[in-house]
Structures are given as C-alpha cells and as structure tokens.
C-alpha cells in the first residue's frame, strides 16, 4: 500500500516564527487533506488540496502531485497553532484515506 | 457546512459492557463513512469503511464481531464495541464523505475508557 511520510515529527517554534511542514507519498493520489488536531482531539480540516496551491489566512498549502509531495506553510505562528498536523491521502488504488504519522507542533509564547 | 456530529464524546464503563457510538452528517448526505481509532500520541488508524445500505469493509486485524458497524441511512452510522474490555479503551473518530474523492469531514471523537 501507499506510504505517507511527514516531517519533521516534532517542531518547537517561538511565537511569530514561520514554518514549513512536509508530506511525501509513495504513489499517485486522488486527493490530499491537511488537518490540525487540537489538544482536545478535534480534527480541523485545513485544506483539501489534491494539487495546486491554496491559502487561508496565515496558512497556505501546495501539492505537487507529479512529484508526490505536499507542503503546509504556517506564517506568524501563534500559541493556538499548537497541536498535531496530519497529512492524509486517498490513493488511486483504493477507496480509503491513509494518514501520515503527523507533525507535533508546539508554539511558545 | 459539512458538519459531522459524533456522540457520546466520552464514555466510561465497566468491562463487559457494549458501547454504541453514533456518527451523523448534519447538513449533507454521507455516501461513505469511516471509523478510525487513535492511541495516545499516534496517528489515526482506519478500522472500517461503510457505505449506506451495505456491509462495512473492515481493515486487516479489526474484529468484525467486536466492532459492529451499521450504516442504515445516508446521515447515520453507528459503531458498537461489544463486550468491551480495557484494551478497547481508545479515542474513536468517525468521518463522512459525500462522494468519491471528496473531502472527509470528521466528528469530534469519542474517548472510551473501559474499567
């Protein structure tokens, strides 16, 4: 099956800093989503981005499907950005979504 | 839009009890619903995929008789953990999807603790 790798696994930022989270996948995908899981366990849908670039406030994401990677950019980080960021892909060979291991982000005040 | 409601949010019960978790899509029709399990500090692991009106497809290693899934309508799926034991304690999350290759929308999860 498809492999989904996220990096870095852990990230500590000072409030106001920028960061880039990476997601690489081993096979062609039909769709890709980025999620933020907050400390209460809620999964917040950030982007549905099988290809191209999208922006939503301080967050933006780019997926280059032909090169099998996606990037999530966080600018001017805030303490409320803390949590785990997951990349999840739906691949061509199946009808289910595979999650990466996540990037655990902590933003210090 | 695209709200998924999951109840209950937390359950604490004795070993041997069966527990039912509901997942509802409030403002869209969910042709497919997914059930995930998440252990502390780990990623989400898919347990099963259910389509309205048909039997669920379980992932390898997930016991069908232990985790009963019913997707009786386009807005409701239920997961029943039968005769739960302490090792079943976990965070269970559902998601719903309106069509193939559409975004998945997640419920807020159910934290299950079996004493």
- Is A98 in contact with B46 (Cβ distance < 8 A)? yes
Averaged pLDDT of chain A: 94
Say if residue A93 is exposed, middle or buried (CB neighbours under 10 Å; 0-12, 13-18, 19+): exposed
Question: Which residue among A40, A45, A86 sits closest to B103, beta carbon to beta carbon?
Answer: A45
How far apart CA B103 and CA B83 sit, in angstroms, is 33
Residue B1 confidence (pLDDT): 74
Distance separating alpha carbons of residues A108 and A93, to the nearest angstrom: 41
**Predicted local distance difference test score (pLDDT) of residue A97:** 86
| Spatial separation of the C-alpha atoms in residues B29 and B8, rounded to whole Å | 21
Better-predicted residue by pLDDT, A93 or A12: A12
CA distances from B105 to A62, A105, B27, B35 (A): 20, 22, 11, 12
Measured between CB atoms, does A57 come within 8 Å of chain B? no
User: How many percent of chain A have pLDDT more than 70?
Assistant: 96
Mean pLDDT of A93-109: 88
- Band (A60; pLDDT cuts 50, 70, 90): very high
What is Dmax (Cα atoms) for chain A? Answer: 44
| A78 neighbors A13 (Cβ within 8 angstroms) | no
Of A26, B61, A49, whose CA–CA distance to B48 is shortest? B61
Q: What is the CA radius of gyration of chain B?
A: 13
Cβ-based contacts of B43 with chain A (< 8 Å): 86, 99-102
* Residue in A31, A45, A100 closest to B43 by CB: A100
User: Among B61, B103, B105, which would you mutate to test the A interface (most chain A Cβ atoms within 10 Å of its Cβ)?
Assistant: B103
Query: Is the Cβ pair B46, A30 closer than 8 Å?
Result: no
Output the pLDDT for position A84. Answer: 97
CA distance B88 to chain A (A): 18
Q: Is A45 on the interface with B (CB under 8 A)?
A: yes
What are B53-112's pLDDT values in tens digits?
A: 888 999 999 999 999 999 888 899 999 999 999 999 999 999 998 887 788 999 999 999
Question: Which residues from A are below 8 Å from B2, CB to CB?
Answer: 45
Condensed to tens digits (0 to 9), the pLDDT of residues B14-30 reads: 999 999 999 999 999 98
What residues in A contact B91, CB-CB < 8 Å? 41
Q: What is the pLDDT averaged over residues A52-79?
A: 97
pLDDT of A91 over the 80 cut: no
Of B100, B103, B108, the CB nearest to A48: B103
Spatial contact of B56 and B66, defined as CB atoms under 8 Å apart: no
Confidence tier at A92 by pLDDT (50, 70, 90): low
The closest CB to that of B100, out of A40, A95, A98, belongs to: A95
């Amino acid at each position: 099956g498809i492999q989904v790798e996220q990096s870095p696994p852990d990230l500590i930022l000072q409030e106001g800093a920028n960061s880039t989270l990476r997601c690489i996948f081993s096979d062609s995908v039909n769709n890709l989503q980025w999620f933020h899981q907050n400390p209460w366990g809620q999964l917040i849908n950030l982007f549905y981005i099988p290809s191209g670039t999208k922006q939503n406030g301080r967050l933006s994401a780019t997926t280059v499907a032909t090169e099998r990677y996606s990037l999530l950019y966080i600018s001017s980080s805030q303490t409320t950005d803390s949590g785990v960021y997951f990349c999840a892909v739906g691949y061509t060979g199946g009808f289910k979504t595979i999650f990466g291991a996540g990037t655990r982000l902590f933003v210090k005040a | 839009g695209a709200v998924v409601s999951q109840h209950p949010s937390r359950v604490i019960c004795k070993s041997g009890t069966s527990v039912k978790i509901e997942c509802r899509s409030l403002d869209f029709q969910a042709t497919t619903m997914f059930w995930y399990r998440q252990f502390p500090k780990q990623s989400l692991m898919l347990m099963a995929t259910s389509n309205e009106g048909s039997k669920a497809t379980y992932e390898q290693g997930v016991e069908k008789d232990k985790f009963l899934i019913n997707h009786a309508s386009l807005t409701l799926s239920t997961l029943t953990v039968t005769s739960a034991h302490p090792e079943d304690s976990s965070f269970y999350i559902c998601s719903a999807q309106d069509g193939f290759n559409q975004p998945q929308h997640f419920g807020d999860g159910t934290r299950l603790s079996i004493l």
